[in-house]
Structures are given as structure tokens and as C-alpha cells.
Structure 1
Amino acid sequence: MGEGSCYHSPTLGRLSFQEVVDEILAMMAAAPEAPYEVVVGTDSQIYADEVDYVSAIVVHRVGRGGRYFWRREKDERPQSLRERIYREAWLSYETAEELIRALKDRGVSGFQLEIHVDIGRNGRTRDLVEEVVGMILGVGYRVRTKPEAYAASAVADRYT
């Protein structure tokens, strides 16, 4: 199992994607009446000749805390900031699609999944905000940017 397909949990260690889904379902089953937010975000860090992308899945039982799971994927260094930001957004989209499909296969639906992108209206990424937000809205997901994008800018960022 490559590192890109392996998730990590601060409390449970290494997990397969299926084990992540099992943990999410167990959490939801413990309080089925509670409202849940499911959030996906990706952040990246450039090194000499490669980039680390870290994608996080955050499951928040509203008002009662939550859990998160993350995975790392290495890739060649992107040619531009725009390429790197789009790659982050695409990895979040792929993770969201995989998660929704797995949860629906297990009979869980009716929750809203949100994608967090590590871009904001200030700084070097400001010119990309409308494009990236439009892309994510266009594929049917709610989206948050900095400073509300905690899954990308706080959780995933911790592991880049």
C-alpha cells in the first residue's frame, strides 16, 4: 500500500480508506440524531524538486467535536502557483467523490459535504479565488476559502 492510499489518524495510526469509512460510520452511529459536517481539504508544501500534498477528511459532530484523517501524496514540482492550487482543489474533489460514493454504498446519505481550499482574498492566491471557487461550486460542492477553510489551512497544513 503506497503512502498516497494510506490514511493516518492522530488516535488510530495508519488506516486504509475503508477503515476510515468504518470509523466515520461508527462515529455517526454513536449519535445518529446529531448533525454532522463532513469536510475535505488539501494543502501542499514545495520542496526542492517535488511537492507534498496532504488531504484531510474532517468529520465534525456539530457542537460536540470531531475527528480527522489525512493522507500524503508526493508529486513533481508544479510549474506555477496556479497549477499547484488547482491540484490541491482536484485532490480534494477526488477525495470527496470517493468518500461520498463509499458512504452511499453503506447506506449513508443526506449530509452535506464541503470542500475547503487554502486560498484567500489576500496574498498571492487572491487572483485564483473566483476560478477555483467556481470550479468546485460547478461540480456541486459547497466551498470555503481562508480564513474559514480550516480543513485545508489548519488540519492538512499541520502535516505538510
Structure 2
Amino acid sequence: MQFISPTKGPMDFDAMFAEIIAYVREVPEATYRVIVGTDSQLREETSFVTAVIVHRVGKGARYFYSREREVFGRSLRQRIFYEAARSLDVAGQLAARLAANGHADFDIEIHLDIGRHGETKNLIREVVGMVTGSGFDARIKPDSFGASKVADKYTK
């Protein structure tokens, strides 16, 4: 999976992870949140964007994103579950790398592009259960800015 840093350009997972660790080492005493969120946009093709955000609580953040395009269509339900699966895949890789590098204490949040209003409200229990059952914290709208703001910005 290829990631893009808005300031440093394209990079692979290893380079992205190195950037995350470098950011944490700048201010090691700070509190950090690691957030993964995916959003999609359906047009002639579907664009899926997964964002990885390292939030230095109260002092800014860095983010990276990966984009994938599909020409075949999925139903809304399939797209939401695929978004969650993409986020879980990246979060799993991050969790393993963080643990191997002495940062097992970092909690990873999965931000889901679903909420209590609109077409996705009936999917909340299932998708949140999928995420929490995988060992990650789940956030939904309006608290899921990783998906609904950061990833959404790059789906268009």
C-alpha cells in the first residue's frame, strides 16, 4: 500500500512508519493518539481513501493517506464494511509495528464514516462490533474526523 504525506510526498508503509516514530521522538513526553479512518466516494468509479493520523494531543498532528480506485460498484453496506476492513488492516499493521518498537501503549482508534443520522445508522452496531471485536476503539460521527474529514478530503 502506497501512502502520501501532504508535505513529503509518496512513501511506502515503512517510510510512513518511520515518519510517525520521528514525530513521536520530537516530543516523547507528549500524549499521542493514532487514528485510522477510511472514506469512499462513488462516482463513475469508487475512490477509497484511508488516512493515518498521529495526533499530538493539544499540539497538532501529522497525517498520511492512501487511495485506491475501483471501477465496479458496491452497495452502501458493502462499501461501509470494506472501509472498516481497510482501516482494520492498516491499524493491525501499525499496532504490530508500534509494539515491536516499544510503543505498545499507543491506542489506535478506528474512525468510521457512519453516524446516527442518515443511511448508515442501521449499520452502527455491526460495524462498531467488527472494530471493537478486533481490539480497537471505534468512533462514529460526529467524533470520527479521521474518516469524515481527513480521508473525505482526498476521495474527490
TM (normalized to structure 2)? 0.95
Residue in 2 aligned with 1:23? 19
Matched, 1:53 2:48: yes
Residue in 1 aligned with 2:150? 155
Aligned partner of residue 156 in structure 1, secondary structure: helix
Q: Residues 102-113 of structure 1: matches in 2 within 5 Å?
A: 102-113=97-108
Aligned partner of residue 99 in structure 1, secondary structure: helix
How far the C-alpha of 1:76 sits from its partner, in A, is 4.1
Output the CA distance in 1 between the equivalents of 2:104 and 2:74: 38
* Conservation of the 8 A alpha-carbon contact between 2:98 and 2:106: no
* Conservation of the 8 A alpha-carbon contact between 1:55 and 1:71: yes
Aligned partner of residue 44 in structure 1, secondary structure: strand
* Conservation of the 8 A alpha-carbon contact between 2:33 and 2:108: yes
Matched, 1:141 2:136: yes
* Conservation of the 8 A alpha-carbon contact between 1:60 and 1:67: yes
Residue in 2 aligned with 1:42? 38
* Cα deviations by residue, 1:72-125 (Å, 9 ceiling, x for unpaired): 112343431100000000000001001111222323221110000000000011
Q: One-letter code of the match for 1:64?
A: K
Aligned partner of residue 69 in structure 1, secondary structure: strand
Output the CA distance in 2 between the equivalents of 1:70 and 1:77: 22
Output the CA distance in 1 between the equivalents of 2:72 and 2:127: 20
Aligned partner of residue 58 in structure 2, secondary structure: coil
Residue in 1 aligned with 2:112? 117
Residue in 1 aligned with 2:58? 63
* Cα deviations by residue, 1:138-159 (Å, 9 ceiling, x for unpaired): 1111010011100000000000
Runs (4+) of structure 1 exceeding 6 A deviation are none
Identity value in percent: 47
TM (normalized to structure 1)? 0.93
Aligned partner of residue 101 in structure 1, secondary structure: helix
Residue in 1 aligned with 2:5? 9
Mean Cα displacement is larger for which, 84-93 or 5-14?
A: 5-14
RMSD between aligned residues: 1.1
Output the CA distance in 2 between the equivalents of 1:47 and 1:66: 30
Q: Which runs of 5+ in 2 are unaligned?
A: none
Q: Which runs of 5+ in 1 are unaligned?
A: none
